[in-house]
Chains A and B, each alone.
Chain A
Amino acid sequence: MTQTTDNTPRAGRQQLVVALHQYGGILVSLVLLCVIFTLLNERFMTVANLTNILQQVAVVAIAAFGMTWVILLGEIDLSIGSIIAVAGMAGAQALAFGVGFVPALLFTLAAGALMGLINGVLTAKLALPSFIVTVATMGIYRGFVSLPTNGAPAMISDASWTAIGSDRLAGIPIIIWIVGVLFIFNHVLLSRTTFGRRTYLTGGNREAALYSGIKVDRLKIAIFTLSGVMAAISGILLSSRLYSAQTNAGMSYELDAIAAAVLGGTSLAGGVGTMVGTLIGALIIGVMNNGMNMLSVPYFYQLIVKGLVILVAVWLDVRAKRRQG
């Protein structure tokens, strides 16, 4: 993979216009939600609560970064909720086995990479639709989670592991640092490297990508593996926040990750989308969950409102883009 940089000289103002053009619709939704919640509850716009939201959104946001890559290719990964659970359990088992913090971490990431690799190979080499492949592996991985403990949750008492989810570094929760670093990593990889450009090209037009010499199969496998690793990191954060690996962890989080990516302007047809958009999309979901909790909206109404807000936000975004054309 060659590292290239975008050297086009751009005025800061021009960049701002481009950013507004791209994210205007979705940013309006996020700001609107924040304003509404701030007006309705005095505790919403506090540092303590904003920190809360970022921590709560971390697991879905990181999984959504991986999902964005997959969707950019025009594929889908429905197994990430299960990978999140397997990762937590893999970490818990490695720690219980006494391998120590760092090896357990590496083992967990490797497990995530392997599960993603399997998705990628099945999709690329057997030419199966990724929807079907990952529906199948979603079940398979979910089954594996329960094997070590027969369905029971596994406690995690390793201090370093639980520190990831609860400690602070320079006054900011470690979990937020991790989201930040992974956001920058994925953003740069997508927008500043050939790997990223190939992904856009392949997702936009598979035939053209093949003719221009892109090894589409290899790219697909790499991206599913990346998605698996991202989900594994989500699983590590989740298990460290919960002091335990739950066998039902991450259930249906793949849908939240898809919603975050699509809210952020990623096209399910492939070829269109950014990490910035996905981050904003994840924040919208997090702000909604937290804001409605702060307002004590009954749970079933929360589900209804969440669905409606996703519809309206995507509609606003699509409309804004159509106008600016």
Chain B
Amino acid sequence: MTFKKALPALLTTVALTMGGAAFADGIGASLLTQQHPFYIELADAMKAEAKAKGVALEVSIANQDLNKQLADVEDFIVKGVDVIVISPVDSQGVAAAIAKADAAGIKVVTVDVPAAEAKVTSHIGTDNYTGGVKAGELMAEVLGGKGKVAIIDYPTVQSVVARVEGFKKALESHPEIEIVAQQTGITRAEALAVSQNMLQANPEITGIFGFGDDAALAAAVAVKSAGLEDQVRVIGFDGMEEARNAVDTNPVMVGVIQQFPQEMGKTAIDTAVDVIAGKEVPAEQPIVPGVYTRK
């Protein structure tokens, strides 16, 4: 390393010609956010697995800003990591970051949110469609095969779209269940307002499906404040601790589809390690979610 300090000009030339030679070996991970329990568990699982496998792992947080994610990936490329793991801020816009990694010859693994327009080495994610179907089946079972259902969605996120599609698909075989409202509620505050509005507009609603824990927990609060605890049942998706506790204690929350961020994070790191070792990895690695109901 000393000769580099003595010859910075040479270093610059080397860097220029090699474009991104490997100084820092290992995995660079660019995650969507660190303000959501799912991503905290995912990041913790990745760090634990990286430690267990003895591979260097650096984590950047995009804070839901695609431009920051692109900058984070650019910085990984300059650093010369071997593999980049991305949980995309936006399934389509992430194409720019993947193209840059491709151009630098660095393989990309996506986790949780898939890339829509770009090809990656492997994708590890919850089978959201199957999860949505399970939510729909649970809803039909809870409502005894008939009723009016509302959905809180987040239409710009592909994984949520798949959940809602699966949910609707499952309800198709129950003709006496009618979907009367579908509104967007991304944050818990928005979801609360949306649930209240939907209950106001359709007082005969008997079931609400929230695309995520936040949406479902907000819906449960709205049901309570409307005094409809005996009438409305809520099902969520994600299955973090808070929602599981709610399912255990709050009769309105009848169930939650449970994702497995630990398994996802572990699989992502194992896949990245295999990629570094030059092994073949499957292009799709779906993680089927479970159904969590009161014990």
Residue B289 is within 8 A (CB to CB) of chain A in the complex: no
* Chain B residues with CB under 8 A of A1: none
* Chain B residues with CB under 8 A of A52: 71, 74-75, 78
A46 in contact with B15 (CB, 8 Å) = yes
B15 in contact with A151 (CB, 8 Å) = no
- Say which residue of B24, B60, B78, B96 sits within 8 Å of A299 (CB atoms): B60
Do A43 and B70 form a contact, CB below 8 Å, given A152-B156, A244-B93, A248-B65? no
* Least CB distance, A67 to chain B, in whole angstroms: 18
Residue B90 is within 8 A (CB to CB) of chain A in the complex: yes
A242 in contact with B78 (CB, 8 Å) = no
Nearest-neighbor residue (CB-CB) of A38 within chain B: B8
Interface segment, one of A26-34, A115-123, A290-298: A290-298
CA distance A16 to B75 in the complex (A): 34
* Chain A residues with CB under 8 A of B34: 299-300
* Least CB distance, A300 to chain B, in whole angstroms: 7
* Chain A residues with CB under 8 A of B16: 46-48
- Would you mind naming 24 contact pairs between A and B with Cβ atoms under 8 Å apart? A42-B11, A43-B79, A45-B12, A46-B11, A46-B78, A47-B16, A48-B16, A48-B20, A48-B78, A49-B15, A56-B71, A152-B156, A155-B92, A155-B93, A165-B96, A166-B99, A241-B67, A242-B70, A246-B66, A248-B64, A290-B75, A293-B71, A294-B79, A299-B61
CA distance A56 to B24 in the complex (A): 21
* Least CB distance, B110 to chain A, in whole angstroms: 16
* Chain B residues with CB under 8 A of A243: 92-93, 95-96, 99, 117
Q: Mark B88-106, 1 if CB is under 8 A from A, else 0.
A: 0010110110011000000
A242 in contact with B67 (CB, 8 Å) = yes
A244 in contact with B92 (CB, 8 Å) = yes
Q: Mark A15-43, 1 if CB is under 8 A from B, else 0.
A: 00000000000000000000000000011
B15 in contact with A153 (CB, 8 Å) = no
CA distance A314 to B74 in the complex (A): 29
Do A150 and B155 form a contact, CB below 8 Å, given A244-B90, A249-B66? yes
* Chain B residues with CB under 8 A of A289: 71
- Say which residue of B1, B4, B12, B92 sits within 8 Å of A47 (CB atoms): B12
Residue B137 is within 8 A (CB to CB) of chain A in the complex: no
A242 in contact with B155 (CB, 8 Å) = no
Residue B184 is within 8 A (CB to CB) of chain A in the complex: yes
Residue A201 is within 8 A (CB to CB) of chain B in the complex: no
CA distance A238 to B69 in the complex (A): 13
> Could you list which residues of chain B lie within 8 angstroms of chain A, going by C-beta atoms?
1, 4, 8, 11-12, 15-16, 19-20, 23-24, 34, 58-61, 63-67, 70-72, 74-75, 78-80, 90, 92-93, 95-96, 99-100, 117, 155-156, 184
Do A151 and B60 form a contact, CB below 8 Å, given A47-B16, A238-B67, A294-B78? no
Residue A251 is within 8 A (CB to CB) of chain B in the complex: yes
A153 in contact with B74 (CB, 8 Å) = no
* Chain B residues with CB under 8 A of A294: 75, 78-79
Residue A86 is within 8 A (CB to CB) of chain B in the complex: no
* Chain B residues with CB under 8 A of A300: 34
CA distance A262 to B172 in the complex (A): 59
* Chain B residues with CB under 8 A of A241: 67, 70, 96
Residue A259 is within 8 A (CB to CB) of chain B in the complex: no
- Say which residue of B23, B65, B72, B90 sits within 8 Å of A42 (CB atoms): B23
CA distance A294 to B155 in the complex (A): 35
Do A151 and B184 form a contact, CB below 8 Å, given A42-B4, A242-B96, A290-B71? yes
B90 in contact with A246 (CB, 8 Å) = yes
CA distance A246 to B60 in the complex (A): 20
Taking A46-B12, A47-B15, A56-B74 as known contacts, 16 extra A-B pairs with beta carbons closer than 8 A to each other, sorted by chain A number, are: A42-B1, A43-B15, A43-B78, A45-B8, A48-B15, A49-B75, A49-B78, A59-B67, A166-B100, A242-B93, A242-B96, A244-B95, A246-B93, A290-B71, A296-B58, A299-B61
B60 in contact with A153 (CB, 8 Å) = no
Residue A93 is within 8 A (CB to CB) of chain B in the complex: no
* Least CB distance, B117 to chain A, in whole angstroms: 7
CA distance A172 to B36 in the complex (A): 39
Do A48 and B66 form a contact, CB below 8 Å, given A244-B93, A294-B79? no
* Chain A residues with CB under 8 A of B156: 151-153, 247
A43 in contact with B23 (CB, 8 Å) = yes
| Of B1, B11, B90, B99, most A-chain CB atoms within 10 Å | B90
* Chain B residues with CB under 8 A of A155: 92-93, 117
* Chain B residues with CB under 8 A of A244: 66, 90, 92-93, 95-96
* Chain A residues with CB under 8 A of B80: 43
* Least CB distance, A296 to chain B, in whole angstroms: 5
* Chain B residues with CB under 8 A of A45: 8, 12
* Chain A residues with CB under 8 A of B15: 43, 46-49
Nearest-neighbor residue (CB-CB) of B65 within chain A: A251
